[in-house]
Chain A
Amino acid sequence: DTGVSQNPRHKITKRGQNVTFRCDPISEHNRLYWYRQTLGQGPEFLTYFQNEAQLEKSRLLSDRFSAERPKGSFSTLEIQRTEQGDSAMYLCASSLLGKERDRGLSGNTIYFGEGSWLTVV
């Protein structure tokens, strides 16, 4: 399967524990995104990377959240000292940002993984 892969798919953890999610983007995609989605809501932007550089972080991303993409390939999202409000699905997505002449974004489709469900009890 050559799509975006996320692990683990489901995680149940006790409040106060740390959890880490991994995302493997589509090969050679230079953009990688993390989103959070709660029941009945649309995905909310958390952060995104261009290669290994983290370009933007949402205000939703408190100090307990950290994301890395050390070699510009896979990424990890760590949540420290989890709280019940962190329970959500964490979605990873990737895309291939084209060259300057392609700024019309034509074909720069953003593909999502299947998500990682987090339940904090």
Chain B
Amino acid sequence: AQKITQTQPGMFVQEKEAVTLDCTYDTSDPSYGLFWYKQPSSGEMIFLIYQGSYDQQNATEGRYSLNFQKARKSANLVISASQLGDSAMYFCALAGGYQKVTFGTGTKLQVIP
């Protein structure tokens, strides 16, 4: 069974500051992937960043980085230099060996000017 936990229903961050969105997971698959998606109010699910369980380095994509701590089973998303357009729901997701993807309940991020 796979499980994703996002414990922060909502977060506020000042514009230009960095913010960390928490995600913990549980899986019995030896090989898995972790994703973060952004969902603005329009509803589309936008892929942000991916971390493979065997990747040695933390993934980075522009202002997004994933703080992967395998022993703790955590995969936190760090957004640097927040922008107003970053206000959205953020979902952490886990894909097991057969790529069935399980989502967390999401964190609503609001960037304050």
Contact = CB atoms under 8 A, between A and B. Distances in A.
A binds B: yes
Interface of A: 31, 33, 35, 41-45, 48, 55-56, 89, 91, 93, 95, 97, 103-115, 117
B45 A115 contact: yes
Interface string B22-49: 0000000001110101000011111100
Contacts of A42: 91, 103-106
The residue among A55, A89, A91, A110 with the most chain B CB atoms within 10 A of its own CB is A110
Contacts, number: 74
B89 to A, nearest CB: 9
State the 9 A-B residue pairs at the shortest beta-carbon distance, nearest first: A112-B45, A42-B103, A105-B33, A104-B54, A114-B44, A106-B52, A104-B52, A43-B103, A103-B31
Interface string B46-66: 110010111100000000000
A97 B98 CA distance: 9
- Category for how many chain B residues contact A: 20 to 34
Nearest to A42: B103
A1 to B, nearest CB: 12
Given A43-B103, A55-B98, A105 B45 contact: no
A89 B43 contact: yes
Contact of B55 (A33, A56, A106, A110): A106
B72 interface: no
Contacts of A107: 50
Contacts of A45: 100-102
The residue among B45, B47, B95, B106 with the most chain A CB atoms within 10 A of its own CB is B45
Contacts of B104: 42
Nearest to B104: A42
A48 B32 contact: no
A56 B100 contact: yes
Interface string B82-97: 0000000001010101
Given A103-B31, A105-B31, A110 B101 contact: yes
